[in-house]
Amino acid sequence: MEIVRLTAVSKTFGTGAGAVTALDKVTLGFAEGSFTAVMGASGSGKSTLLQCAAGLERPTAGAVSLAGADLSRLRESALTRLRRETIGFVFQSYNLLPALTAEQNVGLPLRLAGHRPHARAVAAALDAVGLGDRARHRPAELSGGQQQRVAIARALVTAPRVLFADEPTGALDSTASRAVLGILRSLVDDRGQTIVMVTHDPIAAAHADRVVFLADGRLAGTLDHPDAATVAAHLTALEAGDTETVGDHGTSRAGGAMEARTTSSATLTADGTTRAADGMTRAADGTTRAADGMTRTVGDTTRTADDATRAVGAAARTADDATRAVGAAARTADDATRAVGAAARTADDATRAVDGGTRAAGEAGSARRGEAARVGGRREGAADGRVGGAGWGGFGLAGKASAC
């Protein structure tokens, strides 16, 4: 029975010309109690598939069912409850709280759900990952592998029906990786746990019951009962762009089928190596073209910088011309001011000249009147003399007349 089912699921990020299709009509199911590895090149849609299957992302199109519930019909609050009760999630980064001990980190999902962590359940989860004796240690006192095992215990404490793991061994060394993968395998074999794991590592994928391959957001084939060599060959074919080689394959670990698969794997590996070499040649050509493109871009940038420099120079010259024009206008204004001042001085001089002329005319009139008066006086004196002389003469004549 399938506990997780994706039907024609598509997921697009962005809109318009910048839209990116991470998943393109993927139809895939995961049986309860199975261990599935999801593989593909970077950008093939692995993590997006995991997030859609876990209800962390809503698909753009298609349907996802988890434990019989159609996720597209659930409101966010109901979806949150379903995730809390049905799934566990393990990330490449451990996401442990540094101030809490291992047991406190493991009990954290229960506290977030409003429940008091049961000491027995927390101890059982730590025992399941082999860290029962590290319960009181904080993350800084644990190795990377031990921290990842605490993260797995934290995902298990709620007894999830499905455990999703996104690159759980990506940050671990080979020894720690083997320990974590062994724990995941034992959870499936001993407890019937359903695990869906994204990985780049063929050795990690070989611990799964089935490998699902993705390329460019599409399902590119499956491989049952994988081994590391076969997985590596399929990955090489995918990276070389040969999706026909990676079809739906069901293989068995028993007897002659194992031999046939080994031979086939060797052939696939050789072919894959050849295709990888061709791919590397194409990649080198692409790198050369990219370098040429970068050279052209640098040239264009240089030309743009030159144009910008010329534009700045032209702007500076324009600013100088404007400055000179302002100076000329200022000088013109000064000249106009001086001209007005000169005109004012001329008007003042004219006024003073008029005043001087008026005074001169007045003085000339006064002089003429004075002269006329003097002349008149002289004339009157002369007349009086003549009249007096005539009078005395009469008297004399009269006197002479009397004597006789």
Mean pLDDT of 214-218: 94
pLDDT-derived band at 404, boundaries 50, 70, 90? very low
pLDDT at position 322: 54
Checking if the pLDDT of 163 tops 70, the result is yes
φ/ψ of residue 16, rounded to 5:
65, -145
Mapped onto helix, strand or coil, the DSSP state of residue 162 is strand
Checking if the pLDDT of 51 tops 60, the result is yes
Residues 6+ apart with CB under 8 A from 201: 169, 170, 177
pLDDT at position 361: 58
pLDDT at position 402: 40
Mapped onto helix, strand or coil, the DSSP state of residue 9 is strand
Domains of the chain: which residue ranges?
2-251, 287-384
Expressed in angstroms, the distance from the first to the final Cα of the chain is 201
Contact (Cβ atoms closer than 8 angstroms) between residue 173 and residue 139: no
pLDDT at position 112: 87
Contact (Cβ atoms closer than 8 angstroms) between residue 88 and residue 158: yes
Q: Which residue has the higher pLDDT, 177 or 318?
A: 177
pLDDT-derived band at 325, boundaries 50, 70, 90? low
Give CA–CA dist 244/248, Å, rounded: 10
Find where tokens 């860290």 sit.
131
Q: How far is CA 43 from the centre of its chain?
A: 20
pLDDT at position 150: 96
Lowest mean pLDDT among 129-138, 367-376, 381-390: 381-390
Going from the C-alpha of 174 to that of each of 103, 147, 181, 209, the distances in angstroms are 26, 15, 10, 21
Residues 6+ apart with CB under 8 A from 205: 37, 39, 199, 211, 226, 228, 231
Checking if the pLDDT of 347 tops 80, the result is no
What radius of gyration do the chain's Cα atoms show? 57
Checking if the pLDDT of 363 tops 70, the result is no
Among 89-98, 202-211, 305-314, name the most confident range: 202-211
Checking if the pLDDT of 303 tops 70, the result is no
pLDDT at position 46: 94
DSSP H or E segment with residue 329: helix 255-403
pLDDT at position 22: 95
The per-residue pLDDT for range 170-182, each reduced to its tens digit, is 888 999 999 999 9
pLDDT at position 284: 44
Positions of E strands within 87-161: 87-90
The per-residue pLDDT for range 241-275, each reduced to its tens digit, is 765 555 555 433 333 333 434 444 444 444 444 44
Instruction: Write the burial class of residue 125 (CB in 10 Å: 0-12 exposed, 13-18 middle, 19+ buried).
Output: buried
Strand order across the beta sheet in which 162-166 lies: 87-90, 162-166, 194-198, 35-40, 210-215, 218-224, 248-249
Q: What percent of the chain has pLDDT over 70?
A: 61
pTM: 0.60
From the list 67, 86, 152, 156, the residue with the least C-alpha distance to 117 is 156
Mean pLDDT of 131-149: 95
Give CA–CA dist 57/46, Å, rounded: 13
pLDDT-derived band at 338, boundaries 50, 70, 90? confident
Q: What is the mean pLDDT of the chain?
A: 76
Contact (Cβ atoms closer than 8 angstroms) between residue 169 and residue 181: yes
Going from the C-alpha of 123 to that of each of 120, 129, 136, 154, 162, the distances in angstroms are 5, 10, 11, 11, 21
Q: Does domain 2-251 have CATH number 3.30.70.20?
A: no
Q: How far is CA 150 from the centre of its chain?
A: 35
The per-residue pLDDT for range 269-294, each reduced to its tens digit, is 444 444 444 444 444 444 444 444 44
Contact (Cβ atoms closer than 8 angstroms) between residue 185 and residue 173: no
Q: Which residue has the higher pLDDT, 351 or 209?
A: 209
Q: Which residue has the higher pLDDT, 70 or 243?
A: 70
pLDDT at position 352: 73
Give CA–CA dist 131/103, Å, rounded: 10
The per-residue pLDDT for range 35-47, each reduced to its tens digit, is 999 999 988 999 9
Both tokens of 104, joined, read: 């406190």
Find where tokens 């670990």 sit.
253
